[in-house]
Amino acid sequence: MNTNVRFVGLDYHQNSVQVCVMDGNGRVVRNRGCANDWRQIDAFASQDGARVQAAIESCSGAADLADELIERAGWSVDIAHAGYVARIKQNPDKTDFTDAQLLADLERVGYVPRVWLPPVFVRLLRQLVRHRQQLVNRRRAQKLRVGGLLREWRVGPAPANRWTRSWIEWARSAPGLPETTCWIIEELLDEIDGIVRRIARAEEHLARITAHDPLVRRLMEERGVGLVTACVLRAEIGRFDRFRNGKQVSRFCGLSPRNASSGARQADAGLIGACSRMLRATIIEASHRLIRFDRTWRDLASRLRSRGKPASVTVAAVANRWMRRLYHEMKPLGIGA
């Protein structure tokens, strides 16, 4: 075994980190808690001057610490999938001491279930697109509340389509509404106006921070892809060349059917659930636009419908194939941090 390498497991917490240092033979050299500071962790783990290979479970804050240890301490750090690590342990007992030791041992034998460590730009972009999505979800919830109040009091037919300016003015003082209900609707509509302005500001910030990003610009050249769709793809996928093939990236996006076969029964159980729901919804929305405006995808959808496929299955199938094609177009470019 290489005696010039130390294998380190880091059990991360907000204020402290349990650090287990293991040699190449699997012997625990040191294992104790340190302050959540890369300098103290490096000083504790690198006492003998050996090269460090570390593993840390993926959680909030772990990526930032891993970046510091890689860039400032010169460590090699792998981000481990927390769910898979828990399954590997196969032990009901859980302590920081044993968790850090397991990570160090997995790093030593090369069995760490690694996940991708996004660069700082991608992590910031994820925060922003998710913040915007939370605002969109809040706007939708308030709109549903307004509609529910109008239905509760059986307000007559509206003079215009829902959520047009005319409809909003009518909803503020619809005939037949009690005064208290009118006041609540007024409050909700004012809140919706504020949320709409905040969404616009978030999209302006998206445009500003991605103005010089080559992958976002290239994605926006695709038909049916605007700024928000391109930013969501960039934030959640990061870079396309980290996947081995189009099938893998499509599965990552939650667009592949989940097999539910057993014995002689062969069946699907809908789309897989282990994915970013925002990413999948964004791609499904893009698929609707492609079917509507692009002849190639419209013809594919027509063929699927002619074979009896439901509309939801057709849209998901188009999204699946579009992502596979997009992978082959984006991977050779080698762009993206």
For the chain, give every domain's residue range. 5-115, 120-209, 217-333
Which 3-state string (H, E, C) describes the chain?
A: CCCCEEEEEEEECCCEEEEEEECCCCCEEEEEEEECCHHHHHHHHCCCCCEEEEEEECCCCHHHHHHHHHHCCCCEEEEECHHHHHHHHCCCCCCHHHHHHHHHHHHHHCCCCEECCCCHHHHHHHHHHHHHHHHHHHHHHHHHHHHHHHHHCCCCCCCCCCCCHHHHHHHHCCCCCCHHHHHHHHHHHHHHHHHHHHHHHHHHHHHHHCCCCHHHHHHHCCCCCCHHHHHHHHHHHCCHHHCCCHHHHHHHCCCCEEECCECCECCEEEECCCCCHHHHHHHHHHHHHHHHHCHHHHHHHHHHHHCCCCHHHHHHHHHHHHHHHHHHHHHHHCCCC
The string of pLDDT tens digits covering residues 175-225 is: 889 999 999 999 999 999 999 999 999 999 999 999 999 999 999 999 999
Q: Say what the pLDDT of residue 10 is.
A: 98
In CATH terms, 5-115 corresponds, of 2.40.110.10, 3.40.50.620, 3.30.420.140, 3.30.1330.60, to 3.30.420.140
| d(C-alpha 270, C-alpha 260), whole Å | 9
pLDDT confidence of residue 91? 78
CA distance linking residue 269 with residue 112, whole number of Å: 30
pLDDT band at 266 (very low <50, low <70, confident <90, very high): low
Q: What pLDDT score was predicted for residue 157?
A: 85
Q: Is residue 333's pLDDT more than 90?
A: no
Q: pLDDT tens digits for 94-109?
A: 899 999 999 999 999 9
Residues 6+ apart with CB under 8 A from 273: 254, 258
Would you state the pLDDT for residue 1?
Answer: 47
Q: Name the band, by pLDDT with cuts 50, 70 and 90, for residue 41.
A: very high
- Per-residue pLDDT tens digits for 278-297: 999 999 999 999 999 999 99
Global confidence as pTM:
0.89
Confidence of residue 59 (pLDDT cuts 50, 70, 90): very high
What are the residues whose beta carbons fall under 8 Å from the beta carbon of 16, sequence distance 6 or more?
Answer: 33, 34, 35, 36
Closest to 89 in 3D by CA, of 111, 73, 116, 69: 111
- pLDDT, one tens digit per residue, over 149-165 is 999 999 888 889 999 99
Cβ contact 63:117 at 8 Å:
yes
Mode of pairing for the β-strands spanning 16-22 and 114-115: unpaired
pLDDT-above-70 percentage for the chain: 96
Give me the pLDDT at residue 258, please: 80
- Tell me the C-alpha distance between 64 and 71, whole Å: 11
